[in-house]
């Protein structure tokens, strides 16, 4: 059955979209008719992702960008709007992890995780908010984590970034609510992606884990809810523990 084009003529910007959750979200929003703008730090993976989306008939703009750099974010937003139109949907998905005892981590480890997972969302919000406010409509969706709610050994830096992201999301939601802009957080448990090069998924049954398409389905729900509805946070778990 053909997908209903509920997002036709809308523009969606997704960070960290060359693979995994970000790519699944870009594909889903594109299938719903949205023009999508994607970024990644890896130009080759980004080009491959853009080619796949285009092969599916999705209108896509792709630009290499490091979301920890304000100049990259400003350029990405500016070029997106000049290439495909005013942004209405923003998905802050880019993220990195550090998993190990906090006392053994370096300051560089801290900076990399907090800058990517938290500061970048602040920078992107500042970049897109003026346009959303002017148009008095839009969605900002931040991909958080159950790690923003649950402590675990070795998760100090990653948990700090996601706890901070949830607090920031809730406050920005109140700041922008009066302008018709909905700001939401999605908090999944472990997702079967390449996100964890240090083997945090070791020993788990990947088939029982959440899949990238599960997160994309949730984003679809958030951006297609009725105008009077505001889902501020979604917590996701697999039906069975992997």
DSSP 113-131: HHIIIIIHHHHHHHHHHHH
Token couple for 182: 């909905």
Determine phi and psi for 61, rounding to 5 degrees: -115, 130
Catalytic residue among 76, 98, 99, 158: 158
Determine phi and psi for 105, rounding to 5 degrees: -75, 155
Residue 98 annotated in active site: no
Q: Where are the beta strands (DSSP E) in 41-180?
A: 60-64, 89-92, 138-143
Number of H helices, E strands in the chain: 7, 7
Question: Which residue, among 241, 238, 195, has the nearest Cα to 93 in the 3D structure?
Answer: 195
Residue 32 DSSP symbol = T
The answer to whether 160 and 112 have CB atoms below 8 angstroms apart is no
Q: Angle between the 156-176 and 120-135 helix axes, to the nearest 10 degrees?
A: 10
Beta strands 181-188 and 138-143: pairing type?
Answer: parallel
- CA atoms of 145 and 124, how far apart (whole Å): 19
**Residues catalogued as catalytic:** 158
């Amino acid at each position: 059955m053909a997908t209903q084009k509920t997002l036709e003529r809308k523009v969606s910007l997704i960070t960290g979209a060359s693979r995994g959750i970000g790519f699944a979200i870009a594909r889903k929003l594109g299938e719903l008719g949205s023009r999508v703008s994607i970024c990644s730090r890896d130009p080759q993976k980004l080009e491959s992702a853009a080619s796949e989306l285009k092969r599916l008939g999705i209108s896509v703009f792709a630009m290499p960008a490091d979301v920890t750099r304000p100049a990259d974010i400003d350029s990405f937003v500016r070029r997106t709007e000049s290439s495909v139109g005013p942004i209405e949907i923003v998905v802050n998905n880019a993220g990195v992890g550090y998993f190990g005892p906090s006392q053994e981590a370096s300051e560089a480890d801290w900076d990399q995780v907090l800058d990517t997972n938290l500061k970048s969302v602040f920078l992107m919000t500042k970049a897109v908010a003026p346009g959303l406010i002017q148009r008095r409509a839009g969605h900002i969706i931040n991909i958080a984590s159950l790690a923003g709610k649950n402590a675990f050994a070795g998760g100090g830096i990653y948990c700090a970034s996601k706890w901070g992201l949830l607090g920031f999301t809730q406050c920005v939601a109140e700041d922008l609510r009066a302008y018709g802009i909905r700001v939401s957080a999605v908090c999944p448990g472990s997702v079967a992606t390449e996100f964890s090069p240090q083997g945090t998924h070791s020993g788990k049954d990947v088939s029982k884990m959440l899949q990238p398409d599960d997160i994309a389905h949730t984003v679809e729900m958030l951006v297609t809810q009725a105008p009077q509805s505001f889902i501020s946070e979604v917590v996701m778990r697999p039906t069975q523990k992997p």
